[in-house]
A and B are shown apart, each in its own frame.
Chain A
Amino acid sequence: MHGIAIWFRHLYETTGINLTIAYDPFDRARFLDGFLVTLELSAITIIGSIVVGVIGAWLQGARLVWTRRIVQVYIQLFRNTPPLVQMFFFYFGLSSLLPTIKNSFGMQEPPVSGFAWACISLIFFAGAFNVEIFRSGIEAIPSSTIEAAEALGYTRLQTYLNVVLPLAMRVCLPALTNNLVNLIKTTTLAYAIAVPELLYVSNQIWSDSVNVPVMMVVLFIIYTALVGLLVAAMKAWERALHRPGLGT
């Protein structure tokens, strides 16, 4: 570890490539913290938005017309507005309407942290797309297959969970992958509400060390790897779901 630090310091002195996160313990620590926050944001919002998609697509098939309308309004609202505006809406708009609570130092603070607001707003944003993605998968299922489940005594929920969803998932996985890739990249918007994620800490680092180009390259590499990892995982899931004679 020490050798590496010396090497990078040498690299900076001879070439001007200043990778402070490789030799400066303080920068390395805050960079790693930021990376972890990005990972947490990504994992929470991916899972959350899939859950929203699954529930939303289920409610879209509800018998009650008002249930379907509410889902429709939700989709229109969150698909047609910029995600940054949504995040501001939650963080500055909604948050200011909530009562503050006393923290352990006796200070007043908002009950929901910036990180939590970022999660909530990103889940709503990506979830709206996921509802539509799952719906496209559901519509690809022959109604006769659903009829067969009904004839066997399945309830609507049982049919959805055991027949409709597993089949729809196989159809819509490529579209879902696209949306989740976008979601990972959109986590950088949390920067705007001071959530110390990767871009935010990188900004702090380059402000201190004036090494913007170097940190930019680092960001590109990390996001490329992160998205690559997600895509590989989704591909593996796709393969695991493959059944002979079903799909391609």
Chain B
Amino acid sequence: MPRGFDPPTGWTPDQPLVAIDDVHKSFGEVEVLKGVSLSVRRGEVACIIGPSGSGKSTLIRCVNALVPFQKGSIKVLGIEVNDPHLDKLRLRKHVGMVFQQYNLFPHRTALENVMMAPVQVLKRLRAEAEAEAYALLKKVRLEGKEHAYPGEMSGGQQQRVAIARSLAMHPELMLFDEVTAALDPETVKEVLVAIRQLAEEGMTCILVTHEMGFAREVGNHVYFTDRGVIVEHGPPAEFFAAPRDPRTQAFLSQIL
């Protein structure tokens, strides 16, 4: 078990780390998720692909309670996310999230971005958090950029700071919300390298992505969503080689 891991009562590693069951979510009249179920085991990398507006981003935002949902259940390490008395902070300490637009704190340096939450949320010692922040920035190959402000870095660099910032909280689960969608093709690679390294180290990940090649290579399981439902899913080798559903076939033929 990594440092700082306190599995909430009742969760054991033989259970899925994330269990999403029949989740329904509407924004007003529009039903975005119409009964989505999937489960991710510890150390697994789940990739969610699908056309824009199919509810992929909404789904992973439900997982760390950034958006509430109306019906169904999501359990992360046994914590029920749909509980009205949910302790959001307890949940979020276990779940890291990286966004499409990086969302770094623009008034803080790369180093400060990484060490802020451990010091302010986890109340860790400053010196300790700082040492770890240096190590994490080194890990995402940003040595020498510690004192740069987000405004001075490229998109790819900012996104890697965002990954390091999430990792500094020692999450059990990482959510990636189209993290390469705002990047130019050359910098996509440097971010994907960082994510692959994480996956290889055994981090449980849910990725919403348009990088089919990456999903195929790094993912353990691929889910295709369309109009609020999971149309088809399977191990990437099967999924990409022989999609069964016509909607999946149409989508894959369009982008591959």
A residues with a Cβ closer than 8 A to B are: 142, 144-145, 147-155, 158, 162-163, 166-167, 170, 241, 243-246
Contacts and interface: CB of A to CB of B under 8 A. Distances in A.
B74 interface: no
Contacts of A163: 105
Looking at chain B's contact residues, the main secondary structure is mixed
A246 B152 CA distance: 10
A204 B103 CA distance: 59
Given A158-B121, A162-B116, A153 B106 contact: no
Contact of B151 (A150, A166, A241, A243): A243
B99 A153 contact: no
B226 to A, nearest CB: 25
Contact of B107 (A147, A151, A152, A246): A246
Contact of A154 (B97, B107, B120, B165): B120
A147 B121 contact: no
Contacts of A241: 107
Interface string B215-250: 000000000000000000000000000000000000
Nearest to B150: A245
Nearest to A161: B120
Looking at chain A's contact residues, the main secondary structure is helix
Ranked nearest first, the 4 interchain pairs of A and B with the lowest CB-CB distance are: A245-B151, A148-B103, A152-B117, A151-B97
B106 A167 contact: yes
20 contacts: A142-B103, A144-B103, A145-B103, A148-B97, A148-B104, A148-B162, A150-B88, A151-B97, A152-B116, A152-B117, A153-B121, A153-B169, A155-B89, A166-B107, A167-B106, A241-B107, A243-B107, A243-B151, A245-B151, A246-B106
A6 to B, nearest CB: 57
B6 to A, nearest CB: 14
A144 B99 contact: yes
A129 B122 CA distance: 36
Contacts of A166: 107
Interface of B: 64, 66, 88-89, 92-93, 95-97, 99, 101, 103-107, 116-117, 120-122, 149-152, 162, 165-166, 169
A243 B149 contact: yes
Given A148-B99, A154-B117, A245 B106 contact: yes
Nearest to A146: B103
A153 B92 contact: yes
Contacts of B95: 151
A147 B93 CA distance: 14
Contact of B152 (A145, A158, A170, A245): A245
A26 to B, nearest CB: 52
Contacts of A246: 106-107, 149, 151
A153 B152 contact: no
B178 to A, nearest CB: 13
Contact of B117 (A142, A144, A147, A153): A153
Given A144-B99, A152-B117, A162-B120, A243 B106 contact: yes
Given A170-B107, A243-B107, A151 B151 contact: no
A153 B169 CA distance: 9
Contact of A147 (B66, B120, B150, B162): B66
A154 to B, nearest CB: 6
A148 B113 CA distance: 11
A245 B97 CA distance: 24
A153 B95 CA distance: 9
Contacts of B165: 152
A151 to B, nearest CB: 4
Contacts of A154: 117, 120-121
